[in-house]
Chains A and B, each alone.
Chain A
Amino acid sequence: MAYFTVDQARSIIRDAYTAAAADIPAVASGLYAADELAGLPEGAVSLALGVGHPVRHARLRSGEVVLDVGCGAGIDTLLAARAVSPGGRVIGLDMTPAMVERTRRHAAEAGLDNVEVRKGLMEALPLADASVDVVVSNGVLNLSTRKSRALAEMRRVLRAGGRLALADLVVTQALPEEVLRSAPALAG
């Protein structure tokens, strides 16, 4: 049962992620190794909001083209950009304009010239068919009210043989209805 319309859910999520601010890397320090975080812009590290480390599992190689769906403040985009250099590039995608700007700024601060950031929806990826080698996404699919559509889009933009590395939250036991009806729950 859906408790929010698609538009309501997107609005709630955009507001929550636009307002997100953190001074300490509470999430990043639990997910990433210190040597991975070294040299990354402070803003990208402190605003890491993922739930896993899909880039580590994606086994990226130099020259590959990577799409980071829901790039947030950019930490996985930046790590992927390092991993595919030289010759590779990363497209970060987010529906929240504030996050798009943060990732652009953080890529510039990190001196990475192989990062492109686009605004868009995971359910309608603004990329051509079979245009990327790898799709990564970190804690984002659960934010979609149309998860199958989002996954189908990830499949569409991958080249044949391309790889998907997806970190997400899954419900293993039912959550109470009062939690499901709560707007802040949508942000995770």
Chain B
Amino acid sequence: MLAKKVANIGFEAVVMVDRRPFGIDALASYPVFPPEFVDFLRRVMPADRHDELVRSVVVLARKPEDTGGAHAG
């Protein structure tokens, strides 16, 4: 999960403050996705996934005051 990845990089006070289902209808409102791709998703994704293909989340974190050594990416 994203929060774990953020913590592993060396952030602290990692919290997820928002999480929402993100389905095909939501995705269709973004102009970076062509209509053919949206139709393709409706065909290949099971109907019970149409309302939640993925989730949108907001993660907050803080860089520690004492950063010590550098973290590699």
Residues of A within 8 A of B (CB): 16-17, 20-22, 26-27, 30, 47, 49, 51-54, 57-58, 123, 139, 141, 146-153, 155-156, 158-173, 175-176, 178-179, 182, 184-185, 187-188
Contact = CB atoms under 8 A, between A and B. Distances in A.
B59 to A, nearest CB: 5
Q: How large is the interface on B (under 10, 10 to 19, 20 to 34, 35 or more residues)?
A: 35 or more
Given A22-B31, A161-B62, A168-B59, A148 B54 contact: no
Interface of B: 1-2, 5-6, 8-11, 17-18, 20, 22, 26-27, 29-34, 37, 40-41, 44-45, 49, 52-67, 70-73
B58 A54 contact: yes
Q: Is the interface of A mostly helix, strand, loop or mixed?
A: mixed
Contact of B73 (A17, A149, A162): A149
A166 B63 CA distance: 13
Contacts of A152: 9-10, 71-73
5 contacts: A139-B56, A149-B73, A150-B73, A166-B61, A188-B32
B56 A168 contact: yes
